[in-house]
Amino acid sequence: MLTLRTLPTLTLAAGLLVAVSAQAQQQLVPAQSSIEFAAKQMGVPMQGHFRKFDAQLSFDPAKPESSRIRFSVDTGSATMGARETDAELPKPVWFNVAQFPQATFESSTIKALGGGKFDVAGKLTIKGTSVNVSVPVVLTQSGATTTATGVLPIKRLAFKIGDGEWADTSMVADEVQVKFKLALTGVGKI
């Protein structure tokens, strides 16, 4: 039986259901997204990308401080376009895919900077090592698609990527630029 006492509870439940439904509709569109990385080996630029990644998000552009983003990358999907190099990347000295099949990012705070720009802070975990990072992100919208772009410089040695003889930064530079373009659906107006 519906009473005045149960009305606030039902209203709250309905509001939560609508909020959860809206958030559940936010999705990554992998076919329109990319994650690339660039480094230098003996001063020569080298580029690669990840073929498999996923995102779970609950993002409200009007209230970014209450938003959450979790991103995962299948480290075994890394490719630099050469069979020999691609065969080395999954090995323990590089990504150690057998023990650490995914790299993850989980947001802790998101701040609006204006003009579709956001600062997304959180924890980046690669090969079992977690580092707090801050990622500048630019959002643009076209129709129902929101595109998030940015570049995150990381130090590979902080994550033990390229151990042993490959730790020599005269061979492979420590700095790696991770560039992303993520197409998302279900995000509200910026």
pLDDT digits (tens, 9 = 90+) for 58-79: 999 999 999 999 999 999 999 9
Band (pLDDT 50/70/90 cuts) for residue 25 is: confident
Give the span between the Cα atoms of 164 and 159, in whole angstroms. 13
Which among 74, 78, 75, 73 is positioned nearest to 46, based on CA atoms? 78
Residue 142: partners with Cβ closer than 8 Å, 6 or more residues away: none
* Single pTM value for the model: 0.85
> Is pLDDT at 46 greater than 90 in this prediction?
yes
> Is pLDDT at 10 greater than 70 in this prediction?
no
CB burial class (10 A; 0-12, 13-18, 19+) of residue 58?
middle
Q: Mean pLDDT score of the chain, rounded to an integer?
A: 89
pLDDT digits (tens, 9 = 90+) for 80-135: 999 999 999 999 999 999 999 999 999 999 999 999 999 999 999 999 999 999 99
CA 88 to chain centre: 24
Do 148 and 117 form a contact (C-beta atoms < 8 A)?
A: no
Compute the average pLDDT of residues 145-151.
97
